[in-house]
Amino acid sequence: MPGVSLTYGLLETLGQAIVVGEFEDSGFPTEAELCVRFGASRTVAREAVKMLTAKGLLSSRPRQGTRVEAVSNWNLLDPDVTRWMTERPYTNKIYRELTEVRLAIEPIAASLAARRATKADLKAMRTAFNAMRDEASHHDLALAADIDFHVAILKASGNPFIIQLKELIHTALTISIGLTNRIAGHTASLPAHEAVLIAIENAQPEVAEKAMRAIIAESIDMIDTFKGE
C-alpha cells in the first residue's frame, strides 16, 4: 500500500522535526507548503497531520492554521513520540525528569518481580546482566544490555499497567543511562545491578526495591552534578 507507506514516511519525518524543535521559529508549514517541501500529495499530508494531531504534537484552529503544541500536551506514552524524544536536545532538567519517572516506577517493579518472576523472566535478567558485564568495553552493546536488564524487570513485575510503560521507560533509560555511563563508566554500576538481580532471584522484594531505588538515586545525583561536555 504505497499511500500508507508515504503517509508513515512523512509522519516520521515531521514527528522528528517537531520534537527537535525545527518549527519553533518558522511555525508549522501549511498543507500546501508540506506538499511542495516534501513532495507529498494533499491526501498524504492531511493524513500525516491528522496522525500527529492524535499524538498531541499538533492542533488546528479556525483562521489560525496548524501549530505545534507544547510538550506538556504531547502523548509521551505513544511509542513513536517516545522514540522521537531520543533525538531531542536535552538539558539537565529533562535528564532529571526522565530519571524521576524511572524512580517512580522501577523500584516497585523490582519488588513485584521478586514476588512474581518466572524462570523465563529470571533467565532474561541474568542473560542481560551477563551481557552488561561481558560487553563493558563496548559502549553500545553495554548500553543495550543495561536497558534489556531494566526492561526485563518491568516485564517480570507481571503488572500489565507497568509493562505498558516500557516504551517510556526505554526512552528514559536510553537517555539517562547513556549519560551516567559516560560519567561513571559502564562497569561502575555492575555491583548494584547484581544486587538487584540476586534479590529478585532470592525472592526478596524489599531488598530488590531498595537496591533499585539506590541505582536510580545515584543516577539522579550524577545528573544533578553533570555540567555538560
> Measured over all CA atoms, what is the biggest interatomic distance in the chain, rounded to whole angstroms?
63
SS3 labels along 71-99: HHHCCCCCHHHHHHHCCCCCCHHHHHHHH
Per-residue pLDDT, 4: 63
Render the burial of 186-213: b for 16+ CB within 10 Å, e for the rest. beebbeebebbbebbeeebbebbbbbbb
What is the average per-residue pLDDT within 127-148?
A: 90
Q: Which of 41-55, 78-92, 186-200 has the lowest mean pLDDT?
A: 78-92
pLDDT for 219 equals 87
Q: Give pLDDT tens digits for 24-73.
A: 888 999 999 999 999 999 999 999 999 999 999 999 888 788 999 999 99
Residue 184 has pLDDT above 70, yes or no: no
The whole-angstrom separation of Cα 16 and Cα 173 is: 19
10 SS3 class: helix
Of the candidate CATH numbers 3.90.1510.10, 3.40.718.10, 3.40.50.620, 1.10.10.10, the domain formed by 2-73 belongs to 1.10.10.10
Does residue 89 surpass a pLDDT of 80?
A: no
| Whole-number Cα distances in Å, 214 to 39, 98, 205, 221 | 51, 16, 14, 11
- Topology of domain 90-225 in CATH is Four Helix Bundle (Hemerythrin (Met), subunit A) (1.20.120)
Residue boundaries of the structural domains of the chain:
2-73, 90-225
| Whether pLDDT at 3 is above 60 | no
pTM: 0.79
